[in-house]
Amino acid sequence: MGKRYFCDYCDRSFQDNLHNRKKHLNGVQHLRAKKVWYDLFRDAAAILVEEQNKRPCRKFLETGQCDFDSNCRFSHMTSGDLEQLVAQVHEERLSRDQETVEVPEGSIEDWLEKWAKRRSSAQSSSTLSSKPVVFQYPPGWPPVQDLPPSLRAPPPGGWPQQPSVQWG
Ligand SMILES: [Zn+2]
Ligand SMILES: [Zn+2]
């Protein structure tokens, strides 16, 4: 049994050799999975900026169809979609701020009630923003075991304590 290569995008593993890996990484299925993954995990703010910099795709907005699909260099977002995205960006900011939120003036009960409302609205309208952030290596990187130690993420709980060394 040789090493196995695990593809995060496709959520599957296969025997790790150059041939398999090349074949997999260039496969249609992998490229599609990678794109979906990107779209899911990309920051809504980044998407918003990107979409706002594109001109609207006339064809898509008129017919609801476009041959270029998600590869189109024009935006397929309607003004409603953009509004939704703006709301999502706003929510993501809110949920990020919750970690360092300050107790405002007024009673603690008021604050807790507001907080609970905000939390439930953030959760119901966007499951993405309530997901805990999981560390991911940048896409396209070699598997962890091939990375130099300085580029590896620390193990859970941090690096082990190094013995102290006296330099002479
Ligand atoms: Zn893959
Ligand atoms: Zn288009």
Q: CA angle, corner 17, sides to 11 and 21, nearest 5? A: 45
What would the pLDDT profile of 34-75 be if each residue is shown by its tens digit? 888 777 667 777 888 888 889 999 999 899 899 988 789 999
CA of 139 to the centre of ligand 1 (A): 11
Given pLDDT bands bounded at 50, 70 and 90, which one contains residue 82? confident
Query: Strand pairing of 4-7 and 12-15?
Result: antiparallel
Residue at 132 is within a domain: no
Confidence of residue 132 (pLDDT cuts 50, 70, 90): low
Judge whether 18 lies within some domain.
yes
Query: Of 50 and 103, which is predicted with more confidence?
Result: 50
Place of tokens 């935006």: 75
What domain count does the chain have? 1
pLDDT of residue 35: 84
- 32-62 CB burial, b ≥16 within 10 A, e <16: ebbeebeeeeeebeebbeebeeeebbeebee
> Nearest ligand, CA of residue 70?
2
Q: Is residue 108 part of a domain?
A: no
Cα–ligand 2 centroid distance for 79 (angstroms): 15
